[in-house]
Amino acid sequence: MLLYLRLLRESLGFALNALRNNKLRTFLSLLGVTIGIFSIIAVWAAVDSMDRQIKEQLSSVDRNTMYLKRFSFAPSNVPRWKRDQFPDVTYAEYQYLKESVTMADKLAYQIFTNREVVKYNDKSVSDINVVPVSYEFTDIQKLDISNGRFYNEAESVSGTPVIVIGYEVADALFGAADPVGRKIRMYGQKFTVIGVLNKQGQGSFGENNDTAVFLPVNFLRRKYGDHNDFMTPIIIIKPKAGYTGEEVKAEVAYKLRSYRGIKAGEIDNFMIDILSGFTDFIDDIVFNLNLGGGIIAFFSIIVGGFGIANIMFVSVKERTNLIGIQKALGAKRKFILLQFLFEAIILCVIGGLVGMALVWVIAAVLTKVFDFEFVLSAANIIWGVGISVAIGLVSGIMPAVSASRLDPVEAIRSGM
């Protein structure tokens, strides 16, 4: 054990000495390793950060939650022209499924619609994401309400003009004042603010509850009806505990086919997407991005490996006389081999640490500039160090073997 510690100490000394005495050569050799480690760890860190944020945002929703609509979030085998003929889901179908689907815990009816301008006295906020949805929405997807409450069943069913606003909307319209109980204007009508959401930040899919408002879906239905180009309805379904998404999906499809009078052999004229399928799709994307980043960075690592091998061959050449003396004094081949192998590993680890330090600095800068948290995880650091060690082993083995096989007499003579 003491021998290996001594080898490590001496190798570290030789590596640092090479850095000091041959700065340009060593810098150019380490540059490949630094770029390679930077490339692969930067890609992995960015993808991991994206994946982590997506999973955090979806953590408040059951993975078996499903979305019933006329279009599909995922690729479909149904031709586009046929999907364009599918009818929208209706509020009546939502009520029917709510009463008839035994495996469903909660159903909510939501409408995707245009963004609007919200006003309070002489202040206004534009480009607001309007989310008309039934009262069950918060039982399916939790909303972090900092002040006030969400609207109840009676307000939802009657379409009462009440509203829950996002953090940035509240800040822009009311500042430090309490928004709850005040009235804001939208759609040419006054809404009473009954709740304010906590600050969330930008989501991974472009959504942002900070600039969103939630209102009873029946208000919009009562004002504009159910058939408008700027309104796209969906039904959100949360299964009961103990039932899988596929089981509930099958029951929903059976009930809706029966309600719409779809005959046996005819295809469904609606789409049901399960959230777990979407998260699996995200996992596939993350895997492919990591794989692609790894392949791209692999070529940089190869270049870096050749650079380290080159500097190690030069180091063997420069220290041929010293190797001969060590072997003449009784140093074994293993001692010489490990000495140069440790030196190659140390050089690669230095290059890898520099690359990871650059990733950390850039991640910190991007986190401050963008509303997105880039994180260099412990797993990525371990992978970076591990890859650096692997590069050192691969690139240093041949120079180390050649050094260990030198004849002591010839080595001393060649160095004189």
Q: pLDDT of 326-347, one tens digit each? A: 667 666 677 777 777 777 777 7
The tokens describing 206, both together, are 């472009």
Q: To the nearest 10°, report the CA torsion of 386, 390, 396, 400.
A: 90
Average pLDDT over residues 270-283: 72
Find which of 78-87, 287-296, 319-328 is predicted with most confidence, using mean pLDDT.
78-87
88-97, 159-168, 381-390, range with the lowest pLDDT: 381-390
Comparing 194 with 327, the larger pLDDT belongs to 194
pLDDT for position 154: 94
Mean pLDDT of the chain: 80
User: Which residues does residue 274 pair with via DSSP β-bridges, in sequence order?
Assistant: 66
Per residue in 115-125, pLDDT tens? 999 999 889 99
The H or E element containing residue 369 is helix 333-369
Average pLDDT over residues 346-359: 83
Average pLDDT over residues 228-248: 88
Quickly state the pLDDT bin for 59 (edges 50, 70, 90): low
Find which of 244-258, 305-319, 342-356 is predicted with most confidence, using mean pLDDT.
244-258
Give the integer Cα–Cα distance in Å for 43 and 297. Answer: 9
Residue for token digits 């006003």? 119
Fill in the amino acid letter for 317.
Answer: K
The DSSP output letter for 269 is S
Quickly state the pLDDT bin for 152 (edges 50, 70, 90): very high
pLDDT for position 274: 79
Quickly state the pLDDT bin for 15 (edges 50, 70, 90): low
pLDDT at residue 94 greater than cutoff 70: yes
pLDDT at residue 204 greater than cutoff 50: no
Counts for the chain of helices (H) and strands (E), in that order: 14, 11
Comparing 120 with 8, the larger pLDDT belongs to 120
pLDDT at residue 45 greater than cutoff 50: yes
Portion of the chain with pLDDT greater than 90, in percent? 27
Quickly state the pLDDT bin for 161 (edges 50, 70, 90): very high
pLDDT for position 71: 82
pLDDT for position 150: 95
Q: To the nearest 10°, report the CA torsion of 74, 76, 82, 83.
A: -20
277: which residues sit within 8 A by CB, 6+ positions away?
A: 74, 245
DSSP E strands, 153-306: 162-165, 183-186, 189-197, 212-216, 232-239, 271-274
Helix or strand or coil: residue 352?
helix
Comparing 143 with 57, the larger pLDDT belongs to 143
pLDDT at residue 26 greater than cutoff 80: no
pLDDT for position 205: 45
pLDDT for position 221: 92
pLDDT at residue 13 greater than cutoff 70: no
pLDDT for position 56: 65
pLDDT at residue 192 greater than cutoff 70: yes
Comparing 378 with 163, the larger pLDDT belongs to 163
pLDDT for position 191: 95
Portion of the chain with pLDDT greater than 70, in percent? 78
Helix or strand or coil: residue 173?
helix
**pTM of the model as a whole:** 0.62
